Structure 1
Amino acid sequence: MKSLKFIVLLIGLIPGFNGMAQNFMLKGVVIEKGSNVRVALAEITNLNNKMGATSNEIGLFQLNARVGDTLLVKKRNLTDQKLVVKTDDDLVVYLVRGSTMLEEVTVKGQTKKQEMEDIKRDFKNSGSFYAGKPPLILLNPFGGSPLTFFYELFGKTPTRARKFNRYYKKELSLIEIDKFFNKSLVTSYTTLRGKELDKFLLDYYPSSSMASNWNNYDAVKYIKESAKQYTDTLKRTN
């Protein structure tokens, strides 16, 4: 029995075992501060274990970490954010839109939609008139342009344009959702604050199909009903 206690004590003193016990899968979401738009394709790096992740189309990410690790979150046109993992709770990262950038692009005062429209125009100005999806009529030898057709299919710029268009459509749907489900609205119609509010925004974020035909009444109804369900769940677990 004494030898067993000694082994347990010895394991507890070995740094490697302690470190392994503290590792967990950190889950979080990246949001643009002010607009409350979820940020897709943000780069999240754990500066301690050098592991990285990328936020998905609705801003969610997960990354191996432990309490005390430092994360670096980066996204083009937004200010880098460094933060320390303090608990194993879900993490909400707010990024601030940068006022200065390397590119000569005026972003201040633009909405996210306007910014994406500018990027689409840039692709067009670079020679991708059909965003990588050329119409078949271009193959017509009489008045068509087969070279343009094949360039749009296989050229580097049109390929990037196609990828951006997929991202663009997802972002537009998120922008529409954020009109009806955001921190300001939830704060106005519920008593949720702080970490409980952040977790509610993360857990009850509606799908694009759910919110596609919403009006203000539908949004408020969803927020109130979901908040009641959420608070009832909190009461049962506490």
Structure 2
Amino acid sequence: MKNYLILFAFLMVCSVGMAQEQAEKVLGVVINASDDKPLENVHIVNLNQVIGTTTNSKGEFQISAKANDTLHFSFLGFKSIKVRVTNDWLKFGSSKIELTELALALEEVVVNQLKLTGYLEVDIKQVPDINNNYRYSISGLEGTGYEASKKSGLTKVIGSIFNPADFLHRMFGKKPNELRKLKKMKEDDEIRNLLASRFDREMLMVLLNVDRVDLDEIVSQCNYSKGFIQTANDLQILDAISGCYEEYKLLSRSRRL
């Protein structure tokens, strides 16, 4: 009986300790480094726990974190930074985070003028086809299928059975933690809201630990068109990668049967 009481007391202490650890939050305020003014709607993501939040009108924020977690701060027009959570931050209160403005430059835009001849059959060939994206479904798989270009639709559908599986395995096979983050990102409403308002892929690259080229290549290998990759917001890209991975798992199971 005495042993049971000791075990029960030990479990209670452990559960209280775990609850306290899970309940830890860091507080802070984000300001503009040039004028010390607070920044509202700064995106903050705990890269370890895959949870996010934003600053209020006073630049203040709070987010669940543990010592050595890494917080990623990003805001349009400012240089993104990563900050490691320390024990003194957790114990002694709020911290001031400074973001530095980026120099914004407009890219040169080249407009190609169409040289019309007056002959319809000739001129019509100069007009680019803006509606050349189609989606194909694969029998036995849930969802709406794959998006592919008009010229190589059949080739991409056949290739999708092989290429995404091999490519995703090369990309994530040695990064199981990054792959598990896909599910966490989809489940966290704050993360989804943050991604829905972004088009720069920065947060996705940081969370998945890939660069922009690899991220675009993943979506491309999942048979999404170039037009989709260029115009989709970050949440749509996340859903595309996640959906492709789920289909990849279904195809992998069917191969083993």
Q: What TM-score do the two structures reach when normalised by structure 2?
A: 0.35
**Which protein, 1 or 2, shows the higher relative CO under an 8 Å CA cutoff with sep ≥ 6?**
2
Q: What TM-score do the two structures reach when normalised by structure 1?
A: 0.37
